[in-house]
Structure formats: structure tokens, C-alpha cells
Amino acid sequence: MQIGVETSKAVDQRRVFVVDEDEITRAALQFMLHDEIEAHELATLEEAFEKGGDWLKPDVLMLGVSFIAARGPGIVAEINAAFPGVRILIVCSKAEEAIAVEGLKAGAHGAVVKPLTLEAVRKKVDTILGRGGAAPLIQLGMLG
């Protein structure tokens, strides 16, 4: 089912990797995005690195904040090394914003704050990709 999909976005050849330990968050984000962009849900960064290989590199990687909490903000550099040019969005709750800010300071490009809504998620991905006339604007400490 396609909900409010623009044809130009539906044929866009870019892709998003949703990497989160929480299966429900992964599934929700993949569902919200799949009509407008190729979206893949993965439970670990190792799966993302393997899937990304030489031919299926993501344009956006939505990263669950739990990875930053567990591995530290240096994980952002590891992702950038594996996928040069990838845009990183951190997925977090309001209570986890301080951890997300550490990821932003380390080079992530933005954050999506729960509760997740279809409109907010699509708008954030469009903005980070520069689609729909929106330029990617990132400000540290300005989540959501």
C-alpha cells in the first residue's frame, strides 16, 4: 500500500539501511519508508557492512542510538569508513538525546526522535537526501 507517495521519489534509486537492535523500530521505519525509497532493515552493523559490500551501499543509514551507547560515538567514523558519503540519522527517544548529541558531534548528520510518525520520518529522510527542494541542514543540539 502506498500512502501519499510522489512518483519521482518512488523511482529514486537511493537506499536506506535501518540498523536498530529493536525489531519493532526497524520494522516500523522500513514500513514507513519502503513506498518512497528502497529500505532494508538490519539488526546489527555487521549485517549492514556485509550487505553493503561493493554493490548495495546505502545513501542513508538510520542508526539506533543503542549502538552509540554500547560502542561509543566512534562508531560514526567506522560507518563513514565503510560507506563513504553515507548520511547517518540517529534514531532515539527523548530520554536518549544526550547520547544522540554525542553521535552528532562525532559526525552523524541528524536524528529522528521517537515517537516516530510517517510524515516526520519521510520528511527527515527527504531533507537529509536533499529531495523535494529541501537542503540538508544540520544543527548540533537541535534534534527532531
Q: What is the pTM of this model?
A: 0.84
Per-residue pLDDT for 4 more than 80?
A: no
| Total domains present in the chain | 1
Boundaries of domain holding 111: 12-128
CATH code, 91: 3.40.50.2300
Q: What confidence tens digit (pLDDT) does each residue in 9-33 have?
A: 445 579 999 999 999 999 999 999 9
- pLDDT at residue 12, rounded to an integer: 59
pLDDT digits (tens, 9 = 90+) for 55-89: 899 999 999 999 999 999 999 999 999 999 999 99
Q: Is residue 114 part of a domain?
A: yes
Q: What is the mean pLDDT of the chain?
A: 87
Q: Which of 72, 58, 66 is nearest to 107 (CA)?
A: 72
Residue 135 lies in a domain: no
